[in-house]
Amino acid sequence: MALSPDEIRSQVSASYGARVRPTLEASSDLIPLIDASASCCSAESSCCGSDAADVDITNIARLYADTDITDLPATVTDVAFGCGNPTAIAALQPGEVVLDLGSGGGIDCFLAAKMVGPDGRVYGVDMTPEMVALARKNAATVGATGVEFRLGEIEHLPIDSGSVDVIISNCVINLSPDKPQVFREAFRVLRPGGRLQVSDIVWTQPVPAGLEADMDQWAACIAGAIEERDYLAQIAAAGFTDVTSVTSEYSGARGLASADIVAFKP
């Protein structure tokens, strides 16, 4: 039986919560930062309870320049689960307001904060309470005062309309069960002239049949991924223009690629 969007989000969140929990529990003072009342989890849901997917979707040394990440603590770099470097797709400018969809432990937010400087602002949104808790602790550790992490779903962003200059995201939108809604929300929160620059996993061939019910493969950024041309069409359907994509090899499975995608809100 097909899972509902809420069930998919719960299981994805449980998977990432389990992956990050050892890092989180190594710092017991992080626990009170979890805002359970606002989370996707409830007493009835299976969220935050299952084992992590047995996948390795990151190679941080391949994605980031050494000079960018040497100052970051292991509680940031050890939980970097991206497939690209969205802050490197196009330069972020001093003073810009940046939003990271699915910010995880915060790595791209901290890199963005350096680029936008003290006059800029960076928001990270993630639905996994453990991720948000760890990211908040990491912000204090690295002294990133212009960065704020909010618990929420990227399909329902806790961000004001027209308030963001640049949206970044790293290996997250493929995990959403409702990607058109994610792109509509991205369009809503961007200011006119704002841009979307995301790294994500896409299929460069038709999506193999029967994958979508495999939640381990979903959490591994495989089963939820869609064909590149459909991804770009969904971005355009949300109202974006000048939608471009550059793909590079990705080791997750044959036929998958890592895509750097840029689009603009007119």
* Footprint on this chain of ligand SAM (rule: CB under 6 A): 9, 12-13, 16, 80-82, 102-105, 107-108, 126-128, 131, 153-155, 170-172, 175-176
In this complex, which beta carbon is closest to ligand SAM, that of residue 48 or of residue 193?
48
Q: What is the DSSP letter of 85?
A: -
Indicate the helix (H) or strand (E) that contains 248. strand 241-249
Can you tell me the distance from the alpha carbon of 167 to that of 195, in angstroms, rounded to the nearest whole number?
6
Angstrom distance (rounded) from CA 125 to CA 113: 15
> Between 134 and 263, whose beta carbon lies closer to ligand SAM?
134
Q: Which of 78, 155, 150, 66 is nearest to 111 (CA)?
A: 66
Whole-number minimum distance, CB 91 to ligand SAM, in Å? Answer: 19
Question: Which residue number, 127 or 190, has a Cβ lying nearer to ligand SAM?
Answer: 127
Q: Which residues contact 159 (CB under 8 A, 6 or more apart)?
A: 99, 123, 125, 150, 189
Q: Report the residue number whose CB is nearest to ligand SAM.
A: 104
Work out how close the CB of 19 gets to ligand SAM at its nearest, in angstroms, rounded to a whole number.
9
Comparison of 116 and 135: residue with beta carbon closer to ligand SAM: 135
Which of 126, 120, 155, 153 has its CA nearest to residue 138?
126
Task: Indicate the residue among 167 and 175 with the shorter CB distance to ligand SAM.
Answer: 175
Question: Shortest gap between Cβ of 266 and ligand SAM (angstroms)?
Answer: 26
CB 12 to ligand SAM: min, Å? 5
CB of 244 to ligand SAM, least distance (A): 21
Q: Which is nearer to ligand SAM, 105 or 252 (CB)?
A: 105
Contact 199, 35 (CB under 8 A): no
Q: What residue has token string 């193999």? A: 208
* Number of other CB atoms surrounding residue 237 within 10 Å: 12
Cβ at position 73, least distance to ligand SAM in Å: 14
Is the Cβ of residue 74 or residue 209 nearer to ligand SAM in the bound state? 74
Residue 71 exposure: Cα atoms within 13 Å on the Cβ side: 10
Q: Whole-number minimum distance, CB 151 to ligand SAM, in Å?
A: 9
The answer for residues whose C-beta is within 8 angstroms of residue 43's C-beta and 6 or more apart is none
Reading phi first (left if > 0) and then psi (alpha if -120 to 50, else beta), residue 255 is in left
